[in-house]
Amino acid sequence: MIRLIRLEWIKTFSKWRTYIGFIAIGVVLPLIFIGIKLDKGRFLTSSPGYIMLEQNFHIIGNLLNGFFVSQLAMYFLMVHIPFFIALVAGDQVAGEAAAGTLRMILIRPPSRLKIFSAKAAISLIYTAMLVLCLAVLSLGLGVLLFGTGDLLVRTEGLLILTKEQVLWRFLMAYLLAILAMGVVASLALLLSVLVENAIGPIIGTMAIIIISVIISEAPISLFEGIRPFLFTTYSKVWQKAFLDPLPSNDILFSIIYLFIYMMLFLGVAFTIFNRRDILS
Amino acid sequence: MKNLFYSRLIGLSALAMLFLQGFAFQSWGDELSANDVLKNLQKTFAEIEDYTVLLQVKTDIQQIRVPQRDVKVFFKQPDKLHLQSEGFAMLPKEGMFINPNQFNREDYYMSLLGKESLKGRSAYKLELVPRNEKVRVRKLIIWIDTARWVSLKIDTVTWRGQSIEIQFDYEKFQDKYWLPIKATATVDLEGFRGFSSFRGRHGWEDESETEDSAKSGEIIVQFRDYKINEGISDSIFEEE
């Protein structure tokens, strides 16, 4: 099994598209941070909440610090990361089918379950790597450029987390983000076993995500009954890692839902993959 | 005989009236004007050339969660103030470090609203209304201890309608300086919507969450480790 995963790793990382996500994060993140640095965080100090606080209170301490900009980067980039994940996970089976190598793989001794598991594992590993890349780069560069300090959480009212609390909150947020993005990878893999061209699963995954996000967030009462059944309703669970007090029940509930969705997508994907006649 | 009696009665009454009037004039003469009260406050304040104090700030305001923090305050006459903290802290701008030197007849209308008893102490109630909108507050009322000449309570209302009321408890230091040991600020941040505007950039906002809600509560500040008139370098204030 490990040999299969290693083989899938080599195949995946020998493609240029695999690096697009890392390159995008590596380019966009420094751009955002340098922009904030040059702008001296005016977007924060000119926000209505900050202006009102500053009018009434002496504000002591550095709110524009590495932790704050890292949290901001998470908000910015977590919207776009599903695309990079779909680009790689959506190519796992469909890409091989399009290239005509899938039939060749399947006639070899490893079972379809093992082959699918290796592909699923690589998709999830890639997802985790992408989120961890965001974590290391944003926290590293953020602290380097802006230093450390208490974290101003983007929420209603004013919520400040102490420097001591921040690191484990970030760790939890990134782990939750990996889980949420894992569901996206599973969905892309499911669409990947359905078609024989690489572009279909990518567009399909993004289309499903966009529609689900609209239904999940639009303040339309008609959608209220549908929302609990959409995985996008729970995919922003990482944001709850910064709340105080920590909404443990909500987080646990979201983890269970996301895990069920991931298993469901992978289960359906494997069932289709296992029964499918590979003609190409 | 009768006429003599009446003329003596009138004479005595006149004397009594003059005597009583004298008392009345005497007590009228004791009453201070708003300007006198302010001058006494300024005089007490001028006795301290500089001080440092450590504040423990505890915030308890609806929808505002800020960790308890220690803030070091440096003050030097006439109006140098520097605040230092390991992390984020917020302290009311108006009233917490009141500097009576900033109040003058050119910038404020002053009126004495009478005397009131506050926590068992007699206090003058002084109202200050800015003459122009350059001053951050719309109205300021200070309760000034009639014996110690320190502010017992300060009530401020900003132009935007937010109000902050601060009550002080005092202790005598070095046998001559009355300085606050505790301040309780009651805050009403009407219209404060927090940092939801960041949130709105990525998708729709839930209207129920962004509605204005009253954010009222208290900021309790404990003062300790005063160092009075020990000298503070000007460089500390230049950092800001």
Residue B65 has its nearest CB partner, among A72, A160, A163, at A160
- Model pLDDT for residues B167-207, shown as the tens digit of each residue: 999 999 988 889 999 999 998 877 676 776 544 343 334 44
Contacts of B209 (CB under 8 A, 6+ apart): A156, B196
Q: What is the DSSP string of B98-163?
A: --GGG--TTTEEEEEEEEEEETTEEEEEEEEEESSTTSSEEEEEEEEETTT--EEEEEEEETTS-E
Q: What is the Cα B55 distance to its own chain's centre?
A: 17
The larger pLDDT score, comparing residue A166 to residue B193, is at A166
Q: Which residues of chain A does B162 touch, with a Cβ-Cβ cutoff of 8 Å?
A: 52, 56
Q: Please name the residue that has the structure tokens 């550095």.
A: A62
A165: nearest CA partner in chain B? B67
Please give, rounded to a whole number of angstroms, the shortest distance from the CA of B39 to a CA of chain A. Answer: 27
3-state secondary structure of A230: coil
Q: Which residues of chain A does B209 touch, with a Cβ-Cβ cutoff of 8 Å?
A: 156
Please report which confidence band the pLDDT of residue A121 belongs to, taking 50, 70 and 90 as the band edges: very high
Q: What is the pLDDT of residue B196?
A: 62
Q: Which residues of chain A does B88 touch, with a Cβ-Cβ cutoff of 8 Å?
A: 59-61, 63, 149-150, 152, 160
Q: What is the Cα A264 distance to its own chain's centre?
A: 18
Q: Is the pTM of this model over 0.90?
A: no
User: Contact at 8 Å (CB) between B189 and B216?
Assistant: yes
Q: What is the pLDDT of residue B124?
A: 92
- Model pLDDT for residues A193-203, shown as the tens digit of each residue: 888 887 888 89
Q: Which residues of chain B does A53 touch, with a Cβ-Cβ cutoff of 8 Å?
A: 90, 192
- Provide the Cα torsion B106, B109, B110, B113; round to 10°: 180
- Touching check for A223 and chain B: CB below 8 Å? no
Buried b / exposed e along A100-112 (16+ C-beta atoms within 10 A): eebeebeeeeeee
Q: What is the pLDDT of residue B94?
A: 79
Q: What tokens were used for B174?
A: 């070095």
Please report which confidence band the pLDDT of residue A238 belongs to, taking 50, 70 and 90 as the band edges: very high
Among B58, B65, B81, which would you mutate to test the A interface (most chain A Cβ atoms within 10 Å of its Cβ)? B65
User: Contact at 8 Å (CB) between B50 and B231?
Assistant: yes
Among A47, A62, A158, A169, which would you mutate to test the B interface (most chain B Cβ atoms within 10 Å of its Cβ)? A158
Please give, rounded to a whole number of angstroms, the shortest distance from the CA of A76 to a CA of chain B. Answer: 8
- Model pLDDT for residues A90-112, shown as the tens digit of each residue: 888 888 787 778 777 777 777 88
Domains of chain B listed by start with CATH number = 32-193+217-233 (2.50.20.10)
Q: Domain segments of chain A: what residues?
A: 2-275
Q: What is the pLDDT of residue B207?
A: 40
Q: Which residues of chain B does A213 touch, with a Cβ-Cβ cutoff of 8 Å?
A: 203
Q: What is the pLDDT of residue B154?
A: 92
Q: Which residues of chain A does B71 touch, with a Cβ-Cβ cutoff of 8 Å?
A: 60
- Contact residues of B toward A, CB < 8 A: 62-67, 69, 71, 83-94, 96, 136, 158, 160, 162, 164, 187, 189, 191-199, 202-204, 206-207, 209-210, 215
Give the side-chain half-sphere CA count within 13 A for A129. 18
User: Contact at 8 Å (CB) between B142 and B156?
Assistant: no
Give the C-alpha separation, A11 to A5, whole Å: 10
A210: nearest CA partner in chain B? B203
Residue B88 has its nearest CB partner, among A49, A63, A219, at A63
Q: What is the mean pLDDT of residues A221-248?
A: 88
B195:A244 CB<8 A? no
Q: Which helix (H) or strand (E) holds B167?
A: strand B163-173
Q: Please report, rounded to a whole number, the percentage of residues in chain A having pLDDT higher than 70.
A: 99
A156:B193 CB<8 A? yes
B195:A50 CB<8 A? yes
Give the C-alpha separation, A183 to A188, whole Å: 9
Give the C-alpha separation, A185 to A175, whole Å: 15
B157: nearest CA partner in chain A? A56
A47:B94 CB<8 A? no
Q: Taking chain B (240 residues) in consecutive chunks of 10 residues, what is each chunk's mean pLDDT?
A: 62 56 45 84 87 92 87 89 89 82 81 88 91 80 91 86 88 89 86 60 40 72 92 80
User: Contact at 8 Å (CB) between A164 and A149?
Assistant: no
Q: Which helix (H) or strand (E) holds A105?
A: helix A102-106
- The ipTM value here is 0.74
A60:B71 CB<8 A? yes
Q: Which residues of chain A does B164 touch, with a Cβ-Cβ cutoff of 8 Å?
A: 56
A48:B197 CB<8 A? yes
Q: Which helix (H) or strand (E) holds B228?
A: strand B216-228
Q: What is the pLDDT of residue B28?
A: 43
Q: What is the pLDDT of residue B208?
A: 41
Q: What is the pLDDT of residue B201?
A: 40
Give the C-alpha separation, A42 to A49, whole Å: 13
Q: What is the pLDDT of residue A224?
A: 82
Please give, rounded to a whole number of angstroms, the shortest distance from the CA of A219 to a CA of chain B. Answer: 7
A55:B192 CB<8 A? no
